């Protein structure tokens, strides 16, 4: 039996980042992935002839320092430099277009409010500072409060403090105040037009089961803005899956091993210490450390088992809010769909967004959903919110068709040519996110990024520093601080904690 320094469970981008950094340090690492491909949610897949799509995550990039450290360009990663526009659809077809060029965007905003147009550039300036704040916060490992800072955690936190102060007193307060705000309140500080407000506020809801009137969507707005580097997605040449492939390439080149179709069933624990894993096929592999890049609920309740963990800890893990409410609808068209290039949203008003969320609150599928649409040639990809993972009535085995229909009907109101152009379709329900992509309750972020589940509360109070009650077992997926979205931060951070 071969033994490794570290086994990493899950080849999502965070698991791969952790593996690459460890391999770079000369460690013997093995990444185990249950699917037949690497990447987790950052994958490009084919659902039929000419029907190749970024299945889930629509676009984005890793932190630039990670791309550099791991030399990902040499593994074929090319991130687009041109940022496409962000377009909020209007019934009269006079869409609100946030062009990457601020002046052009302001021009479009002017149609809705002069004042808002004038505020656009100051707002962008503020959001740049916000992004700096979010990135430095994500680069810090959140220590255990109030005791138990170790030197490197203390340093990272001090750096964060300094970075925040460097934004200036006023900006700092504005950001701090913005965190617990609702997306509605956050945008209301800057804009008066409901249309402008809703377009910007939609970022605060994207991927989360929260409404525009939910406290903390101020923060998620900042988070998504920072991860995207703006409002629209940037795309990766050849599909977002290239990120994962490049990472896998780096891992292998640095001597790491990656095995797909290798589902971990159990973490082997002896005397409250992890010493390896058992695969679904019964194979046992031992290692010095185990890092789980799967979500914390799955990690602790299935892979470790509640019996091995303290009762309060188990209770806290059970209480982690995993509330998937995102579905994806991919349409293969003949090319005449009529949808413009860019990130296109159906988010006409704040109350529209809120109502869409109400459906998730009551465990339903929104009849008037908030949609974010991207196109790639003939393919139209629709991000659908809200569709609750736990349905009050009906079953995800059959309700997928309903999501598909609502998505197409909603879009067809703006693009009458869309429906006739459709050649093939693929819907991914919240249940598919769980069964196919391994996300407990279909939660993309491995746990909602709510105020009580972020920073030093992520994944649960007292365990924000990647460690777990089991010695030698660590976490590095999106469920820990730094995670949520594609940046690689939590995969990078765990390496600093490892003994």
Ligand X SMILES: Cc1cc2nc3c(=O)[nH]c(=O)nc-3n(C[C@H](O)[C@H](O)[C@H](O)COP(=O)(O)OP(=O)(O)OC[C@H]3O[C@@H](n4cnc5c(N)ncnc54)[C@H](O)[C@@H]3O)c2cc1C
For ligand X, the binding residues (CB under 6 A) are: 9-15, 32-35, 40-42, 56-58, 206-207, 224, 227, 263-264, 293-294, 298, 303, 326, 328, 383, 437-439, 444-445, 477-478, 483-486
Asked if residue 385 lies in contact with residue 326, where contact means CB atoms within 8 angstroms, the answer is yes
Binds another protein (CB under 8 A): choice among 145, 155, 158, 166: 145
Provide, rounded to whole angstroms, the least separation between the CB of residue 65 and ligand X.
17
- Contacts to another protein from residues 168-207, by CB under 8 A: 169-170, 172-173, 176-181, 185, 188-189
Say which entry of another protein, ligand X, none residue 256 contacts (CB below 5 to 8 A, set by partner kind): none
Which 452-471 residues touch another protein, going by CB under 8 A?
452, 456-457, 461-462
474, 292 in Cβ contact below 8 A?
A: yes
Question: What is the rounded distance in angstroms from the CA atom of residue 405 to the CA atom of residue 293?
Answer: 34
> Minimum CB separation from another protein for residue 437, in Å?
24
In the bound state with another protein, the residue whose beta carbon lies nearer, of 45 and 189, is 189
Q: Which is nearer to ligand X, 119 or 342 (CB)?
A: 342
Q: Is 451 among the residues that bind another protein (CB under 8 A)?
A: yes
Report the phi/psi class of residue 485: left, alpha or beta, with left for phi > 0 and alpha for psi in -120 to 50: left
Nearer to another protein, 17 or 175 (CB): 175
Question: Does 271 participate in binding another protein (rule CB under 8 A)?
Answer: yes
| CB 476 to another protein: min, Å | 22
CA 234 remoteness from chain centre: 14
- Residue 166 as a binder of another protein (CB under 8 A): the answer is no
* Residue 45 to residue 333: CA distance in whole angstroms: 17
The contact pattern for another protein, residues 72-111, with x = CB under 8 A and - = no contact, is: ----------------------------------------
Nearer to ligand X, 445 or 448 (CB): 445
Complete edge-to-edge strand list for the sheet that includes strand 379-387: 96-98, 86-88, 343-346, 365-376, 379-387, 326-333, 422-428
CB-side neighbour CA atoms (13 Å) of 91: 3
| Number of residues written out for the chain | 499
Minimum gap (Å) between residue 217 Cβ and ligand X: 13
Shortest Å, Cβ 307 to ligand X = 18
Beta strands in 321-434, from DSSP E residues, in sequence order: 326-333, 343-346, 365-376, 379-387, 422-428
Q: Is 48 in the site for another protein (CB under 8 A)?
A: no
DSSP assignment string, 290-350: EEE-S-HHIIIIIIIIGGGS-HHHHHHHHT------EEEEEEEE-S---PPSSEEEE---H
Q: Is 289 helix (H, G, I), strand (E, B) or coil?
A: strand
DSSP β-ladder status, 422-428 and 365-376: unpaired
Spatial contact of 202 and 373, defined as CB atoms under 8 Å apart: no
Which token pair is 410?
A: 């909603």
**Quick one: tokens of 212?**
């525009």
Is residue 213 at the binding interface for another protein, with CB under 8 A as the rule?
yes
Query: Which CB atom, from 13 or from 242, has the smaller least distance to ligand X?
Result: 13
Stretch that binds another protein, among 38-46, 109-117, 128-136, 304-312 (CB under 8 A): 304-312
**Cβ neighbours, 10 Å, residue 81:** 6
Contact between 393 and another protein per CB under 8 A = no
Give least dist CB 339 to ligand X, A. 18
Neighbours of 62 (CB within 10 A): 27
Please choose which of ligand X, another protein, none residue 203 contacts, taking the beta carbon within 5 to 8 angstroms, the exact cut-off set by kind: none
Q: Say how far apart CA 201 and CA 348 lie, in whole Å.
A: 11
Work out what residue 169 binds among ligand X, another protein, none; the CB cut-off runs from 5 to 8 Å by kind.
Answer: another protein
Binding to another protein (CB under 8 A) within 306-365 occurs at 306-315, 318-319, 321, 351, 354-355, 358, 361-362
Q: How near is the Cβ of 211 to another protein at its closest, in Å?
A: 8
Give the 3-state secondary structure of residue 76. coil
Positions in the binding site for another protein (CB under 8 A): 144-147, 169-170, 172-173, 176-181, 185, 188-189, 210, 213-216, 271-272, 301, 305-315, 318-319, 321, 351, 354-355, 358, 361-362, 450-452, 456-457, 461-462
């Amino acid at each position: 039996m071969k033994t490794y320094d570290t086994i990493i469970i899950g080849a999502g981008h965070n698991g791969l980042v952790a593996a690459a950094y460890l391999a770079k340090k000369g460690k013997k690492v093995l990444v185990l992935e249950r699917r037949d491909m690497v990447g987790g949610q950052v994958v490009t897949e084919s659902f039929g002839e000419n029907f190749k799509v970024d299945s889930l995550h629509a676009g984005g990039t890793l932190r630039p320092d990670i791309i550099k450290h791991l030399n990902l360009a040499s593994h074929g990663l090319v991130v687009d430099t041109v940022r496409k526009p962000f377009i909020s659809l209007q019934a009269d077809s006079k869409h609100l277009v946030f062009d990457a060029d601020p002046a052009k965007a302001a021009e479009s905003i002017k149609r809705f409010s002069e004042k808002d147009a004038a505020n656009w550039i100051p707002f962008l300036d503020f959001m740049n500072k916000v992004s700096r704040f979010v990135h430095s916060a994500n680069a810090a490992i959140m220590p255990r409060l109030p005791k138990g800072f170790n030197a490197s955690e203390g340093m990272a936190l001090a750096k964060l403090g300094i970075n925040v102060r460097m934004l200036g007193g006023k900006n700092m307060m504005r950001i701090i105040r913005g965190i617990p705000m609702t997306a509605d309140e956050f945008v209301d500080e800057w804009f008066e037009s409901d249309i402008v407000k809703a377009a910007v506020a939609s970022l605060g809801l994207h991927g989360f089961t929260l409404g525009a009137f939910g406290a903390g969507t101020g923060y998620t707005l900042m988070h998504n803005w920072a991860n995207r580097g703006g409002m629209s997605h940037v795309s990766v040449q050849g599909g977002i899956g290239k990120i994962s492939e490049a990472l896998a390439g780096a891992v292998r080149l640095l001597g790491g091993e990656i095995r797909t179709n290798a589902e971990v069933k159990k973490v082997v624990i002896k005397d409250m210490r992890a010493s390896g894993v058992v695969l679904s096929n019964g194979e046992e592999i031992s290692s010095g450390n185990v890092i789980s890049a799967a979500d914390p609920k799955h990690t602790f309740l299935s892979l470790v088992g509640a019996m091995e963990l303290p009762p309060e800890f188990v209770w806290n893990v059970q209480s982690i809010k995993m509330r998937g409410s995102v579905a994806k609808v991919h349409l293969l068209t003949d090319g005449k769909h009529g949808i413009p290039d860019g990130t296109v949203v159906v988010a006409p008003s704040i109350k529209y967004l809120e109502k869409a969320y109400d459906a998730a609150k009551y465990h339903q599928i929104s009849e008037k959903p908030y949609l974010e649409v991207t196109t790639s040639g003939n393919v139209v990809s629709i991000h659908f919110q809200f569709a609750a993972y736990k349905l009050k009535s009906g079953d995800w085995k059959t309700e997928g068709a309903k999501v598909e229909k609502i998505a197409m009907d909603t879009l067809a109101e703006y693009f009458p040519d869309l429906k006739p152009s459709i050649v093939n379709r693929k819907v991914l329900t919240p249940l598919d996110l769980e069964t196919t992509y391994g996300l407990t309750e279909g939660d993309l972020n491995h746990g909602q990024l709510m105020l009580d589940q972020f920073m030093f509360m992520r994944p649960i109070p007292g365990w924000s520093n990647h460690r777990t009650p089991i010695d030698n077992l660590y976490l590095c997926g999106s469920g820990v601080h730094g995670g949520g979205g594609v940046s690689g931060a939590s995969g990078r951070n765990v390496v600093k904690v490892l003994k």
